Structures are given as structure tokens and as C-alpha cells.
């Protein structure tokens, strides 16, 4: 994920799934790369809770958020391929199918 500079190798989000992936990957990285109880781990957890509440309030269903979160946690470090990581089953569930 690219924050300050977006080189050609780091594509822009193309749809809601890509956007949710980028945001969830931030929270996953807070938990993965920082000790539990550290300020970054703690603040990342709090920010994720707030993000989830705001996303639900905006009409994004809990199943979609859960599918993206699970895929982000399972992705290899540095991986940026939400649709590939989530697979057809998760995307089908997100679409209601």
C-alpha cells in the first residue's frame, strides 16, 4: 500500500473492495508489526473499531467487512491483491450469492 507517493506499481483502488482492503490492511499491519499493548497496536485497534462503526453506518454490510478483514489478515506481507486473496467464495458472499 502506498500512502505518500503512489508509483505506477501501486494501483489506485478501483472499487469498494479495493478501498476496504487498503483500510483493513492498515489495521492488520498495526496488529502484525507492533507489540500487543504498544501505542500503535492499541490506537490501530481503536481506530479500526471506529472505522467499522462508521462503515456500517454508511451502509456497508458486516459480511463484506468481515470477508475483507479475514483476507487482509491472511495475505502475505506486502501483498496487494484483494480479489485474488479473497477468492471467488468470499466475493460471492459479498455480492449476496
> Residues 14-50: pLDDT tens digits?
678 778 888 888 888 888 889 999 999 999 999 999 9
- Give the model's confidence band at 66: pLDDT under 50 very low, under 70 low, under 90 confident, else very high: confident
Please indicate, yes or no, if residue 60 is contained in any of the structural domains: yes
- With b for 16 or more beta-carbon neighbours within 10 A and e for fewer, the 33-64 pattern comes to eeeeeeeebeebeeebeebbeebeeeebeeeb
The number of folded domains in the chain is 1
Could you tell me if 25 and 1 are in contact, meaning their C-beta atoms sit under 8 angstroms apart? yes
- Give the model's confidence band at 95: pLDDT under 50 very low, under 70 low, under 90 confident, else very high: very low
- pTM of structure: 0.63
Please indicate, yes or no, if residue 67 is contained in any of the structural domains: yes
Please indicate, yes or no, if residue 11 is contained in any of the structural domains: no
- Which range of residues forms the domain containing residue 31? 16-94
Please indicate, yes or no, if residue 2 is contained in any of the structural domains: no
The H or E element spanning position 51 is helix 39-57
What's the mean pLDDT in 57-85? 73
Cα 19 off chain centre by = 8
Amino acid at each position: 500500500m502506498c500512502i505518500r507517493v503512489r508509483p505506477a506499481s501501486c494501483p489506485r483502488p478501483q472499487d469498494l473492495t479495493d478501498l476496504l482492503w487498503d483500510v483493513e490492511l492498515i489495521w492488520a499491519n498495526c496488529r502484525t508489526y507492533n507489540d500487543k499493548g504498544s501505542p500503535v497496536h492499541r490506537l490501530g485497534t481503536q481506530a479500526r473499531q471506529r472505522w467499522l462503526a462508521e462503515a456500517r453506518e454508511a451502509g456497508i454490510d458486516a459480511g463484506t467487512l468481515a470477508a475483507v478483514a479475514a483476507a487482509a489478515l491472511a495475505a502475505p506481507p506486502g501483498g496487494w491483491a484483494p480479489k485474488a486473496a479473497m477468492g471467488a467464495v468470499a466475493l460471492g458472499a459479498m455480492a449476496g450469492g
